[in-house]
Amino acid sequence: MSTEPLFFQPVFKERIWGGEKLKAFGYDLPYKRTGECWAFAGHPHGQSVVKEGVYKGKTLGALWEKERQLFGELKGGRFPLLTKLLDANDDLSIQVHPPDEYAQQFENDCGKTECWYVVHCEEGAEIVYGHYPKTKEEFSWMVREGRWTEILRKVPVKQGDFYYVPSGTIHAIGKGIVILETQQNSDATYRLYDYERVDHGGKKRVLHVTQSLDVLSTPFVESQLAMLKNQVDGVHVTTFVQSPYFTVHKWMVKGSASLCQEEPFLLISVLKGNGHIEKNQKEYAFSVGDHVLLPAGFGSFTISGDAECIVSHV
């Protein structure tokens, strides 16, 4: 059983709406329009890689297949979570994601429930979160009529906000926002509307109107989250959501604390600052932009520093 933290090298994705804000995390970006950083990724469309240690060079997917003891012998054909950083230098398309059964039947993928933590946003930034039509029939008619301002529910955001986005929810990240996204390990996305944009070749991107209407949840009901707060010595823990798919916390590290990793795995993404994880009299330094997996059986450890982290597990 590994008692070392596993640091992962992300995978970067070029997107029409991307930019260069992810440089703030210390990354050498491969594209001027880098939209996504896949931090913990074990999906056929992207695999993050262990940076150092006994598993250096191994992908998350390979570890899931060959070293299942690192994940508490969890069952499943694919690592369950995908963690991303997204830079919306422009508005994302209006999207909806399918639930498990639909995605498995039509996309050979799992469903996609996700959540967002707002890392940074410009003044006046907004997201699309939900819709106003009460029935699918009303929704479909308004789409055909192009009445998007009457369809889409726009919400102003600020740094530190958190949103839970179940499958079936109409949504889009707006221009000027950087988020950390925790989601089911799926790349199944249906694009409902894209502002009539064209790509580098002058072509409009493919829309998935029929599929979007198939999986849309109506009427929209905003998820009510009961956030929990707890102080463990030098770590202030906010639990944003505990869902069937994932639990997500924010750790504000100010000093040091003794903690215990008792989950099948723990994913830590460092958004600000730096610090150390100490285990068996060894120190492992972390800083902004690092993504660290603590495996099953990691047990007791000490964390210290001045940092903001988003932490997730199943």
Residue numbers annotated as active site: 191
Q: Which of 243, 247, 198 is nearest to 224 (CA)?
A: 243
Q: What is the dihedral of CA 45, 288, 306, 72, to 10 degrees?
A: 30
What are the backbone angles phi and psi of residue 309, rounded to the nearest 5°?
A: -130, 145
CA dihedral 166, 171, 176, 178 (to 10 degrees): 20
Q: Before 219, cis peptide (omega within 30)?
A: yes
Q: Are the beta carbons of 237 and 248 closer than 8 angstroms? A: no
User: If residue 10 lies in a helix (H) or strand (E), which one and from where to where?
Assistant: none
- Tokens 């690192």, located at residue: 70
Torsion of CA 75, 2, 114, 125, to 10 degrees: -170
Sign for the CA dihedral angle at 184, 159, 28, 13 comes to positive
The sign of the torsion formed by the CA atoms of 114, 116, 122, 124 equals positive
Tell which residue, 125, 229, 117, 196, has the closest CA to residue 164.
Answer: 117
The answer to whether the beta carbons of residues 99 and 215 sit under 8 Å apart is yes
Encoding tokens for residue 47?
């695999």
Q: Return the residue matching tokens 């060959």.
A: 66
Could you tell me which residues come within 8 angstroms of residue 243 by beta carbon, excluding any fewer than 6 positions away?
A: 113, 115, 164
Q: Which tokens sit at 160?
A: 């530190």
